[in-house]
Amino acid sequence: MSPKNLEVKSETKESLRIGVFGGTFNPLHVGHIQCVRMVKTRLGIDRIHVVPAAQNPRKPRTEGPKDEDRLEMCRVGFASDADYVTVDDRELTRGGLSYTVTTLESFAKEYDPSQLHLIIGMDQFEELDRWHRIDRIFELASVIVVSRPGHVIPYSIADFPEGLRPLLADFEKGFGQLTSGRHIEFLRMPDADVSASDLRKRLRTGRSVEKYMTIEVEEFIKSRGLYGPIGPRIGDFETFTRFCAEALYAKKGLNVRGFDLRPTTAPTEFSLVASGTSTRHTSSLAESVLTAVKEEFNVFPQSVEGMAEGRWVLLDYGSLIVHVFYDFVRQEYRLEELWKESRDLGIKDPLA
């Protein structure tokens, strides 16, 4: 190739408008695909890199496919969009915690930095001020926020997360100028209300996922045997419930109670509830269960909710759901009253 052709290729690459769309993609669903296609169509992004994360630093690891399976799932799901979508393995290759700022810095070395656009969902935007080095992220890329049903687009700067407001120069009608010189804009995506955690439950229980997943991705999941039930690896769930209770007591959990819900119409067979003395203690209690179960059974929960806030943490192990409350919040919700028809397991502190 001649020097002239090399120069043309370089100029073409630097002129591209690049989108970076990261996530765990556990699993890849139609919401992800619709998001990418809408950004391409509405904003004229030339190439979108879909970047599966190795480990989200703000979320505990959950039970699911191996990294290579998630990567291949994305390749299958975006095969028909390959003319403008690149399924990018840089975070999986790098390993460890997947910080967006590090990923964007790597893209800035490959493309014209002024053409980088970070694509996120509205649920991610709502906690964006907690992201690692968010000020640097706003220097590296403009941000495209795709709103799913049930989320309200900000009307003014006052509607932004508090930590983002000093980074905004102006905002009006879904478009804002950032103090870094970049911008943030919002797109509303219709008819794509998909919950990844609910989708994982559907896959594990054999319920239909036709509305939420392309046939190609569904067939790939079935061919690899992904999202199988975790029950066979755990065994007897009453014994498992008592094991988790011991992990809570070992970290000074308060008022630990277990219930056999099989006599009721509850959506799970067993539940465990405990209290912490603070939001920090609550998150620590939940973390102790995660660690103990991983070491003993080599199992992660199917989903984890509320860990960052520490007010009400929920660990979903399929036939057992563990609820860990900040004690004040537990008194407000009074879950035990919903389980009056269940059998109390009579769990006691083994050290008492």
Question: Which amino acid does the sequence have at 130?
Answer: R
Nearest-angstrom CA–CA distance, 91 and 93:
5
Q: Are strands 254-260 and 18-23 parallel, antiparallel or unpaired?
A: unpaired
Write out pLDDT tens, residues 42-59: 999 999 999 999 998 888
Nearest-angstrom CA–CA distance, 303 and 287:
13
% the chain with pLDDT above 70? 95
Task: Kindly report the length of the chain.
Answer: 352
Q: Which residues of 123-136 are buried (b: 16+ CB within 10 A; e: fewer)?
A: ebbeebeebeebeb
Domains of the chain and any CATH numbers: 3-188 (3.40.50.620), 232-344 (3.30.460.10)
Write out pLDDT tens, residues 163-204: 999 999 999 999 999 999 999 999 998 766 778 888 988 898
8 Å CB contact between 304 and 315: yes
Q: Give the DSSP per-residue string, 191-254.
A: S----HHHHHHHHHHT---TTTS-HHHHHHHHHHT-S--SHHHH--HHHHHHHHHHHHHHTT-E
Question: Which amino acid does the sequence have at 332?
Answer: E
When pLDDT is cut at 50, 70 and 90, the band that residue 14 belongs to is: low
CA-nearest of 73, 103, 101, 104 to 87 is: 73
Specify the pLDDT at position 151: 78
